[in-house]
Each structure stands twice: as C-alpha cells, then as structure tokens.
Amino acid sequence: MTSALAGTGALVRLALRRDRWLLSGWILLFALMTGFSASATADLYPSVQDRVAAADTINSTASLVALYGRIYDPASLGALSLIKLTAFGAALLSVLMVVIAVRHTRAEEESGRLELVAGGIVGRHAPLTAALVVGFGASVLLGLLTTGTLVAVGLPSGGSLAFGLGWAATGMAFTAVAGVTAQVSTGARVAVGLGLVAVGVTYALRAVGDLAEHGPSLLSWLSPIGWNQQVRAFAGDRWWVLLLPLALVAGLVPLAFLLRARRDLDAGLIADRPGPARGGLAGVWDLAVRLHRGVFVSWAVAFLVFGALLGSLATSVTGLVTSPQMRDIITRLGGEQALSDAFLSAELRILGTIVAAYGIAAANHLRSEETTGHAEMLLATATPRSRWATSHSLAALLGITLLLLVAGLAVGAGDAIVQHDASQVGRVVATALGQVPAAWVMAGAVVAVFGWVPRLTGAVWGVLVAFIVLGEFGVLWKAPQWLMDLSPFVHSPRLPVGSSDVVPLLLLTATAALLSAVGYVGWRRRDLSP
C-alpha cells in the first residue's frame, strides 16, 4: 500500500501550485459571503420581532422553502442571515469540490499528463489520494475560515462552528462523490457531469422533503445537502448530524479506491465497444451534434424528471401558508393562482440559470476542441473557420432552447397531472422559453471571449457565479441597481407573461447576437492557439 501511495506528497504540492489562485480565491469568497450576509441581515432586521416576522414569511412561502429550506429558530439572527447559504451555499460549494476533485484525477488522466507523472515514482493510488487530500483540506480550511468570519461579525461561536463544520463536511462528501464518478467514466466532462447530477439530485430531494406538510420528511434525510440544513446551526446546533456526511465519506473513499484498483490507467469501468469501420459523419455539424449529444441527453432526462417533480409541487404551496394575515395578503395579491405562479416562476428562473451553465459548457467546446488539437485537424481541411465555430455555437444555442422547452413541458405536465387541468401548460412553456435569451447571452459571452482572449474562455463560469450570487444576495448587500441589472437573468420574464416582456427579451437576444458576432470577428483574425 505504501508503494501505491508513493509520490502523493509531490502530487499534492503540484495540485496546490496549479490551483493556488483558484482555491484561495474561492475559499475567501465563500467565507466573505457568510460575513456579508450576517452583518447585512443584522442591519436589515435589528429587532427580534423583525426577524421572527421575516422568518415566518420565509417558512410559509413554498418557493423559498423549496429553494433554501426552513428556519428552525425564527428568533435567531444566525439562522435567518445564513438561510440562503445553508443549502444553496452548500450546493455551490459541492460543485466547486466536484470540479476540483475531477480536475486532479480524471481530467489529468484524460489529457495524458497523468501518464507523464505515472512514469515517475508515483504509486497507483497516489493521484486519487492527492486529489482527495486537496479537496478535503480545502473543505476543512473553508469551513474553519467561515467559522472565523462569522465569529468576527458577532455571531455566537457555537453556531458559527456548527455552520462552518457543516460546510466542511458537505464539501468533503462531494469531494468523495467526485472521487467515485472520476473512476466510472473515461471523460472528465462526464465525470464532472455525474458529480453535478449528484448535487442536483440531493438538492431536489431536500427541496421536496422540506416542502412536506410536517417537513422535513425522510427525503431531506436522504440528502447530504439536507443533512447540512439539519445540523441547524444557530438553531440548536445538532452536532451529531455532522456524523452523517463523514460516514458517507468513509463509505465512498474505499469505493473509489476499489474502483480505481479494478481498472487500468485511462480506462473506465465500462470497456470500450468497437465502433463502425465506416463513418456516417458528413461534416462539422454532424460532428458537433455527436460531441454534444451525450451530455445533452443526460441533461434533458434530468430536466424531464425534475421539471415534472417541481410542477407537481405547485398546487401544494398554498398549504404552507398558515397565518391568516399571510392568506389575506396573498388573496389581495391575486389569490392562490398568484401563489402558484410565484412558485413556478421561481423554479423556472432557477432552471433557466442552470441551463445557462449547460450553454457555457457547450460553447466551451470551441476552446476545448482548440486546445486538444481537434480544431487544427478540421481547419486544415476545406472547412472555413466560421463554419467550424458556428457548429459549436449553434449546438450550444439550440441545446439551451431544447432543454428549456423540455423543462417547460415537464413542469407544465407535472402541474397539469396534479390539478387535472392542462390549461396552464401553454403559459408555463412560454415562460420557460422566455428564459432562453438570458442563457443565450451567457453562451454568446463564451464565443466573444473565445474570439479575443481564448485562454480566458473558462472565466465566463466565474461571471455566471457572480450573477447567481448577485441575484441571491444583491439586495441584502445593498449592491447598486445597475450592477444587479447587468445580470441577464434579471430581465427574464415571470408568470404571468405579458407584452411588457417582449422588449427585454428582444434586447437579450440582440445582446447574445452581438456577443457572438464580436467573437467571430476576433476568431477570424487570431492565431490558432492550442
């Protein structure tokens, strides 16, 4: 075993060297987000009564409970100020850990760099061990730094520690999840995708579980993100719940090593089957479809399932409203229809943001095909540059549109089945399609950066995260309006869709087109830079 681990230390140092900015930047960002939220909430709700009222509103609003969970101690400042970061922050953190763990395992293997390293004195299990060490270390450091930040802004130290450790344990759990997904498939893209599906599934499980009448139900307890909520930091500090993610880690890590031991370098668990001796790909568009197809289909299936699930919840949202005052307010605002509209709008907006992530990943094919040298092979043929770039841009734009169509149909169908009334399907689908242009803008941004500063194409991910964070916390942090308006998602329509939504949608579409055009101009002028 010791020889299998030889070189782990060197690999850990290599990973830290490669990721020193990425890791330290993200860790700081997460810790600072908690501090900002806590101090801003204290300003916003100075008295206990204010906080109780705010907490009651959140607890009785289904879309908020589905998104963020419940507040288990309405009087607690900590519980109120960190409600958005408990589940949602843990999900973001989990995505980060999945990306980091795959980056140092399967991605290295796929690129062939690991082979270079494996030739040296590096044991069979060293790369996986090193990736886990880096992920676990980053999670713990992030948790402790968060605890420190929360204590520094004046929250109770017990709750601060519980919250920090809850994040640390969730981060560790998803590092271990990615350690397993990295063994299963031969592609880093698929390994990250599987990890993200795990994050999405656990997030949705707890959303459904939290919405149950006397929630949280069993479903919340099946989800690592749900466990993070059930630690109930600042609302009881249930330390024993931290054992659940640690137990999951203890189960997944040996599994990852077992899977690694059963396969060869570069191989997945599923052996490659032979392909056709003659190809039917007629051109770059066929090739793009082929390259995008696998990921697209898995996203479409996920959207179908979760869309239907979310749609079926829309009618149950009124059950959460217990206080007569709230019922009164809602009736005056437009009745239960308005309540379920608000719920569906919130869900569709989130799906729209998630689809933007698909669009960014799909448009990033431009850059990854260039760095791998695939683009060089194609551009040395009679393929013009613009035709090649169009194949991937179009695949991204079309993928976004189809995914939101699937999402709209699934949400609408889920709602219709529960209500025995299909009259809502049309407007739900229209609203879902209304989220398309904002996601196009993000894909267009990838094309623009690709055309002029190809090395920074990945930075669009950071922009997406910034828009998400601004959308969630901008108001709380008193961010200037113009800054928040930069996010394309702000301009996407909500239910009920009206004629006032047409102009913003046209502007978003024009922005996406402009960004793509700018990218094309740069791409046609610049060197191929693998």
Partner 1 sequence: MTAVTSIDSSSDLVVDARGLVKSFGRTKALDGLDLQVARGEVHGFLGPNGAGKTTTLRVLLGLLRLDAGTARLLGGDPWREAAQLHRRLAYVPGDVALWPNLSGGEVIDLLGRLQGGHDRTRRDRFLELFDLDPTKKSRTYSKGNRQKVALVAALATDAELYLLDEPTAGLDPLREADFRTCVRELRDDGRTVLLSSHILSEAEALSDRVSIIRSGRVVETGPLEQLRHLTRTSVIADVTAVPEGLDRIPGVHDVRVENHRVSAQVEEHGLAPLVQALGAAGLRTLTSQPPTLEELFLRHYGTTASARRGDD
528 Cβ neighbours under 8 A, 6+ residues apart: 370, 375, 376, 379
Q: How far apart are CA 190 and CA 470, in angstroms?
A: 29
Whole-number Cα distances in Å, 97 to 135, 195, 292: 6, 9, 24
Question: What is the smallest separation between the CB atom of 277 and partner 1, expressed in angstroms?
Answer: 4
Segment interacting with partner 1 (CB under 8 A) among 14-22, 125-133, 415-423, 522-530: 522-530
Q: Is 335 in the site for partner 1 (CB under 8 A)?
A: no
- The answer to whether the CB of 366 falls within 8 A of the CB of 451 is no
Binding mask 468-507 for partner 1 (x = CB under 8 A): ----------------------------------------
**How many residues at the interface with partner 1, by CB under 8 A?**
39
Q: Which is nearer to partner 1, 327 or 526 (CB)?
A: 526
Nearer to partner 1, 123 or 294 (CB): 294
Q: Which stretch binds partner 1 (CB under 8 A): 52-60, 241-249, 290-298, 328-336?
A: 290-298
- Nearest Cα residue to 125 out of 257, 259, 14, 252: 257
DSSP secondary structure, 119-175, as one string: TSS--TTHHHHHHHHHHHHHHHHHHHHHHHHHHHTT--HHHHHHHHHHHHHHHHHHH
Residue from 327, 374, 427, 494 binding partner 1 (CB under 8 A) = 374
Q: Given the complex with partner 1, which of 43 and 264 has the nearer CB atom?
A: 264
* 373 near partner 1, judged by CB under 8 A: yes
Identified binder of partner 1 from the candidate list 50, 376, 421, 485, rule CB under 8 A: 376
Treating both helix axes as pointing N-terminal to C-terminal, what angle do 188-211 and 90-103 enclose, rounded to 10 degrees?
A: 160
The smaller minimum CB distance to partner 1, of residues 120 and 276, is found at: 276
Q: What's at 306, amino acid-wise?
A: F
CB closer to partner 1 out of 262 and 478? 262
Segment contacting partner 1 by CB under 8 A, of 394-402, 435-443, 501-509, 519-527: 519-527
Peptide bond into 324 cis (omega under 30): no
Token pair of 249 as six digits: 């880690």
DSSP 425-447: HHHHHHHHHHTHHHHHHHHHHHH
Give the integer Cα–Cα distance in Å for 111 and 120: 17
Task: Output 334 or 373, the one with its CB closest to partner 1.
Answer: 373
- Cβ 110 to partner 1 shortest distance, Å: 8
Using CB under 8 A as the criterion, what x/- string covers residues 72-111 for binding partner 1? --------------------------------------x-
The nearer residue to partner 1, 119 or 480, going by C-beta atoms, is 119
Q: Which of 38, 55, 194, 291 binds partner 1 (CB under 8 A)?
A: 291
Dist CA 316 CA 400 (whole Å): 29
Dist CA 41 CA 29 (whole Å): 18
End-to-end CA distance of the chain: 38
- Minimum Å distance from CB 193 to partner 1? 14
Select from 9, 25, 154, 279 the one that contacts partner 1 (CB under 8 A): 279
1 belongs to the binding site for partner 1 (CB under 8 A):
no
Identify the residue among 214, 273, 332, 420 touching partner 1 (CB under 8 A): 273
**Residue 119 binds to partner 1 (criterion: CB under 8 A):** no
- How far apart (Å, rounded) are the C-alpha atoms in residues 44 and 81? 10
Minimal distance, residue 159 CB to partner 1, in Å: 48
Instruction: Please tell me whether residue 378 binds partner 1 under the rule CB under 8 A.
Output: yes
Task: Report the site for partner 1 in 380-409 (rule: CB under 8 A).
Answer: 380-385
Token readout for 76 is 């607690």
At 502, the amino acid letter reads V
Distance in Å, CB of 528 to partner 1, minimum:
4
Segment interacting with partner 1, rule: CB under 8 A, options 23-31, 270-278, 301-309, 409-417: 270-278
Question: According to CB under 8 A, which one of 372, 422, 455, 510 is a site residue for partner 1?
Answer: 372
Question: Does residue 316 interact with partner 1 by CB under 8 A?
Answer: no
> Based on CB atoms, which residue is closest to partner 1, 265 or 479?
265
Our CB check for partner 1 shows the closer of 212 and 378 to be: 378
153-192: which residues touch partner 1 (CB under 8 A)? Answer: 186-187
| 379 scored as a contact of partner 1 (CB under 8 A) | yes
Whole-number minimum distance, CB 297 to partner 1, in Å? 14
- Contact indicator for 346, 67 with CB cutoff of 8 Å: yes
Closest CA to 287 of 186, 188, 389: 389
DSSP 310-360: HHHHGGGGGGG--SHHHHHHHHHHTHHHHHHHHHHHHHHHHHHHHHHHHHH
Q: Does the footprint of partner 1 cover residue 213 (CB under 8 A)?
A: no
d(CA 430, CA 366): 30
Least Å distance, CB 372 to partner 1, is: 5
DSSP secondary structure letters along 347-399: HHHHHHHHHHHHHHHHHTHHHHHHHHTHHHHHHTTT--HHHHHHHHHHHHHHH
**455 contacts partner 1 (rule: CB under 8 A):** no
430 binds partner 1 (CB under 8 A): no
Considering the complex, what minimum distance in angstroms separates the CB of residue 377 from partner 1?
6
20 versus 525: smaller Cβ distance to partner 1: 525
Concatenating the DSSP letter of every residue in 86-122 gives: IIIIHHHHHHHHHHHHHHTTHHHHHHTHHHHHHTSS-
Q: Which residue has tokens 């032979």?
A: 274
Interaction site with partner 1 (CB under 8 A): 110, 186-187, 266, 272-284, 286-287, 290-291, 294, 372-374, 376-385, 525-528
